[in-house]
Amino acid sequence: MTVRDERALRDLVKSDRVHRDFYTSPDVFDLEMERIFARAWLLVGHDSQVPNPGDFVTTTLCRHPVIMSRHRDGRVHVMFNRCSHRGAQICTEPRGNAKRFECPYHGWVYDTDGRHAGAPYPARYADGFLKAGGFDLAAVPRLAIYRGFVFASLGAEGPGLDDFLGPMKSHIDAMVDRAPGGEVEASAGAFRYRFGANWKIQMENQNDLYHPMFTHASTTARDGTQFRRHGAEDDEAGRVRLLKENEALNEQWEELPVGGHRYGHTYMGMFPMNKGQSGPVHERYRAAMEARYGDRAERAMAVRFHNSIFYPQWSIQYLTQHIRLMNPVSVDCTENVIIPLRLKGAPEEMWRAALRSNNNSHSPAGMVMSDDMEVWVRCQNALTSPGNDWVVFARGASEEQADNRGSFEVRGTSEANARHQHRAWLGYMCGEA
Amino acid sequence: MRDEIEKFLFREARLLDERRFEEWMNLFAEDGYYWVPAAPGLEDPYDGVSIFFDDRAVMKTRLQRLDHTRIHSQKPASRTVHTVSNVEIDGDYGAVGEILVRSAVTMLEYRLEKQTAFAGRCRHLLRIAEGGGFEIAWKRVDLINCDGVFETLSVPF
């Protein structure tokens, strides 16, 4: 099969199922890198990871090593971590503060905006050769920042960020507006993990309401309690509460809104298990929010989503307060970065509870993530076998009717969000996006 | 004293290897905690993310889960060997009746055709218990790859 043939691509994605090659074919993966990941806007990180001039972090964007730095003029830059001379990675520290970046190979130096700042012993170059330019660190083709979220595109062509995000902008606002200071901060580091499964398996999982009671059965303890993913606790600072309402929960899944917007973005409503909050800490939070937002405080405080996926590469989880970057490594390997977000100006106790919630559910030992990763790997392993070529996404088939802007919303354990992602995938792969 | 402390640490390691998690948890004081930071040199567990940061309540949830019949990430269960060495005792640290013990720990884990090695520096703050013996006021493990890329972890170090 040549996957560059449009018909072959369309044969992989049916309205209620996808072919196993969708997950296992290296050719499909290579084409995805070209037609999806070099076109969509990808999240590099948050600008609060580099608060001061000279601050930098090294990270991976899709499969490429990049540096995100803040130059002395305050602007954030993202450039490929590759010397313009002989191609060495110029920086391997995970983070730090630098006046300049110096390549270890022959000492070529670069300013923190990527500008080439000199090469040792320049006399042996032809007159004007170095000055003629072209030796700056290659910047990502497109860079844009929205409310501190640093986006890059690996392609010069493609939709602008405003168009790409569309209604999903409000899903970023929904996170950031919960901060009385009007900003979030990525100051607690990150978890990183890798699992042996295709990137799309995770995409399809994150809004899947059909799986929690099975995949995560073990987070229900023997006494029927389940730990709650909660951002702010009542009175006990940082305490992680256990929840006794797990049984009722299963009935309530079907009421939850799930939906999507153009370019394959999808979201899921807030879990019913997370009840309204009260107590002195919450009152302090409310006071801080009212001071900033006045009448709009109540709406800004409301946590409306469990998570939102910005197809194809990152998501926000709201109560747990983190962003998840999902970088494809190969057809059967994906690497995650989980970055907790602090709500600036909110009580310290809320941050402590959110951080602990992240540790408990989303560390490599996390009680939620570990079972998710286990099943994703099991999918990938089994999908290589012949005998059954199709993976079924027929739950709630055809319920989702997109409006004229490409948005839809349905409820509960429908597999509509995965189908929406599949249609967006076809659009990208067939050159329609 | 050294002999008793080493015996305590070796038994702790064996309880984990034999998956006697509840007994392991009961080595901790009621206000005790187990901490594995996800960044080197972290001084306060609220300054950054942690692979484990468990008080007794979280520990109980986590360890009960390890015994759950539907914990998929432990089917089949990990087999582990914890090796504790380089034990150093600092009786001057902390309050009266508390002993800081430094050690090195390695854990080899085998699961699903794959063997993985972990290593770290370990600190136990032990309290001399009322009826004799020790309880763990806190245990901190600094893995050499604490900020690295992990696959699923289930068994404490």
pLDDT at A228: 52
Per the structure, how many domains does chain A have? 2
pLDDT at A231: 43
Q: What is the DSSP letter of B77?
A: P
**Banded pLDDT at B8 (limits 50, 70, 90):** very high
Tell me the domain boundaries of chain B.
2-143
Residue A227 has pLDDT above 70, yes or no: no
Q: Does B147 touch chain A (CB under 8 A)?
A: yes
Q: What is the pLDDT of residues A68-126, one digit of tens each?
A: 999 999 999 999 999 999 999 999 999 999 999 999 999 999 999 999 999 999 999 99
pTM of the model: 0.94
Question: A425 and A374 share a domain?
Answer: yes
Q: What is the pLDDT of residues B71-113, one digit of tens each?
A: 999 999 999 999 999 999 998 898 899 999 999 999 999 999 9
pLDDT at A276: 64
**Banded pLDDT at A274 (limits 50, 70, 90):** low
Question: A56 and A96 share a domain?
Answer: yes
Question: A386 and A311 share a domain?
Answer: yes
Q: Which of A94, A111, A146 is the last residue of a domain?
A: A146
pLDDT at A237: 37
Question: Which residues of chain A are within 8 Å of residue B37 when distances are taken between CB atoms?
Answer: none
Tell me which residue range forms the domain holding A71: 42-146
Residue A240 has pLDDT above 60, yes or no: no
Question: A197 and A136 share a domain?
Answer: no
pLDDT at A221: 55
> Is A215's CB within 8 Å of B150's CB?
no
Question: Which residues of chain A are within 8 Å of residue B48 when distances are taken between CB atoms?
Answer: 188-189
Q: Determine, yes or no, domain membership for A76.
A: yes
Main-chain phi, psi angles of A20, to 5 degrees: -65, -25
Q: H-helix or E-strand containing B99? A: strand B98-111
Task: Please give the CATH number for the structural domain made up of B2-143.
Answer: 3.10.450.50
Q: What is the pLDDT of residues A356-385, one digit of tens each?
A: 989 998 999 998 889 999 999 999 999 999
Q: Determine, yes or no, domain membership for A37.
A: no
Q: What is the pLDDT of residues B97-155, one digit of tens each?
A: 999 999 999 999 999 999 999 999 999 999 998 888 999 999 999 999 999 999 999 99
Collapsing DSSP to helix, strand or coil, B92 comes out as: coil
- The sheet carrying A41-46 orders its strands as A41-46, A149-153, A142-146
pLDDT at A340: 97
Which residues, listed in sequence order, are joined to residue A342 by a DSSP beta bridge?
A185
pLDDT at A213: 79
Which residues, listed in sequence order, are joined to residue B79 by a DSSP beta bridge?
B110
pLDDT at A255: 87
pLDDT averaged over every residue in chain A? 91
CATH number at residue A259: 3.90.380.10
Q: How far apart are CA A226 and CA A75, in angstroms?
A: 44
Distances in whole angstroms, Cα of residue A158 to Cα of each of A30, A433, B64: 18, 8, 50
> Is A364's CB within 8 Å of B152's CB?
yes
Take residue A405 and report the two structure tokens written for it: 């802007």
- The fraction of chain A above a pLDDT of 70, given in percent, is 91
Q: How far apart are CA A3 and CA A9, in angstroms?
A: 6
Question: A140 and A184 share a domain?
Answer: no
Q: What is the pLDDT of residues B28-76, one digit of tens each?
A: 999 999 999 999 999 999 999 999 999 998 999 889 889 888 899 999 9
pLDDT at A236: 39
Q: How far apart are CA A94 and CA A136, in angstroms?
A: 21
Indicate which of B60, B151, B154, B157 best probes the interface with A, i.e. most A CBs within 10 Å of its own CB: B151
Q: Are strands A64-70 and A100-102 parallel, antiparallel or unpaired?
A: unpaired
| Nearest beta carbon to residue B61 from set A242, A335, A365 | A242
Where b means 16+ CB within 10 Å and e means fewer, A308-332 reads bbbbbbbbbbbbbbbbbbbbbbebb
Q: Determine, yes or no, domain membership for A152.
A: no
Q: Determine, yes or no, domain membership for A305.
A: yes
Residue A410 has pLDDT above 80, yes or no: yes
Residue A223 has pLDDT above 80, yes or no: no
Q: How far apart are CA B106 and CA B120, in angstroms?
A: 6
Residue A249 has pLDDT above 90, yes or no: no
Question: Which residues of chain A are within 8 Å of residue B154 when distances are taken between CB atoms?
Answer: 365, 370
pLDDT at A225: 53
Q: Determine, yes or no, domain membership for A326.
A: yes
> Is B57's CB within 8 Å of A190's CB?
no
Question: A102 and A192 share a domain?
Answer: no
Q: How far apart are CA A375 and CA A208, in angstroms?
A: 13
Q: What is the pLDDT of residues A136-175, one digit of tens each?
A: 999 999 999 999 999 999 999 889 999 999 999 999 999 9
pLDDT at A365: 94
Q: What is the DSSP letter of B78?
A: P
